[in-house]
Structure 1
Amino acid sequence: MARLTDPNIRKHLLRDEGEVIVDEVKHHGIVYILPVVETVVAAALLAWLPFVDVDLAWFPFLLALAILSHAGWKTLGHHRDRFVITNMRVFRVHGVLSQQLATMPLSRILDITVVKPLHGRLIGFGHFVFESAAQEQGLRDIRYVGRPDERDLSIQRVVQRSGLRGPRMN
């Protein structure tokens, strides 16, 4: 079961090159609101079953099962979606049955935009938009990042420590 729920990001590290994880970012809890609402709706449908005509009870049961399946699928998808900051690069691993990996070396990051909508500012999440020299990139938008300012600072620190932005001014 753990193999299905854990994206196993450690297997993507370049250990022989000295790559270490600086931060592993999971989605903010706000992404689980829709699956929770779907689960409540499915539970309401199941609670309604005793009051439905026996000949038609199969329909709300199958509908509740479909809604629960969708909620479980979305929850698993959000749980397996990870954004990782290492001392050499940033990468994102996501997907349930198939897994996608998008990587960007720190040297290619030209700009990071942190977008914090009003509700995100209130409950503590934001979105990252990465700009790089490449026109097409697999790692551009990282949505629903908890504590985005701290994560942005950790990326800036790693970039600065790697010497990619020039010497620090005192």
Structure 2
Amino acid sequence: MNVQDMMVFRDTRARTVDKYLMAHEGHVIAVRRHPAVLLQAAAETVGGLLLSALVHAFTGLALLWLPWLVLLGRLVWKVIAWSLEFFLVTEHRVMLISGVLNRKVAMMPMAKVEDIKLDRTPMGRLLGYGEFIIESAGDKQALRNVTYMPYPEQLYLEISSMIFGAVDESPD
């Protein structure tokens, strides 16, 4: 299974996602966040490995490997959390499902979505991710910023057409 297959579920029935859908809903878009969300933790783990190896080489203290093991454990935890987190858009709702031990579902009815914006930083352009800013009618928003979204332009167009409707003007 390649990285692209791990990020996007399209037209498949994933049990992880299905249990959050109502009986009359079919999931239209279900996607994991871009793996770039793991870059900082991975870089810190590699840096900790190099620092621990360097300090161990000069001092011989094996106890200094413990902080690196904590960093490694944190990276493993973040990978597990990433693999269980989904951004889900149906014809009725927009949801962000997250959490490993304590599952959280942030949901916004599609009828309340007034606008969706796409923001791409230079790093996001380079690595292929973006941030969705979802504006809704109401003061408190359970789901406003969704960061590290893969295929941002494609997803933006698909979600926009679901929210605002799409007119098919093809001659067929």
| Partner residue in 2 for 1:35 | 41
Distance 2:134 2:145 in 1: 7
Displacement of 1:130: 0.7
Displacement of 1:24: 1.0
Distance 2:46 2:101 in 1: 26
Distance 2:51 2:15 in 1: 33
Displacement of 1:147: 1.3
The yes-or-no answer on 1:120 pairing with 2:128 is no
Question: TM-score, normalized by length of structure 1?
Answer: 0.79
How is 1:52-67 mapped onto 2 (pairs within 5 angstroms)?
Answer: 53=59, 56-58=61-63, 60-67=64-71
Displacement of 1:106: 1.1
| Partner residue in 2 for 1:85 | 89
CA contact under 8 A between 1:7 and 1:80: conserved in structure 2? no
The yes-or-no answer on 1:12 pairing with 2:20 is yes
Name the aligned partner's letter for residue 84 of structure 1. L
Which structure has more relative contact order (CA 8 Å, sep 6+)? It is: 1
Displacement of 1:81: 2.1
* Root mean square deviation of aligned Cα: 2.5
Instruction: Note closer, same or farther for the CA distance 1:61–1:11 as it changes in structure 2 (3 Å cut).
Output: same
% identical aligned pairs: 30
Name the aligned partner's letter for residue 158 of structure 2. S
Displacement of 1:7: 8.7
Distance 1:104 1:94 in 2: 15
Displacement of 1:115: 0.7
Paired residues in the alignment total: 156
Distance 2:154 2:39 in 1: 24
Question: TM-score, normalized by length of structure 2?
Answer: 0.79
Name the aligned partner's letter for residue 21 of structure 2. L
Name the aligned partner's letter for residue 10 of structure 1. D
Larger radius of gyration: 1
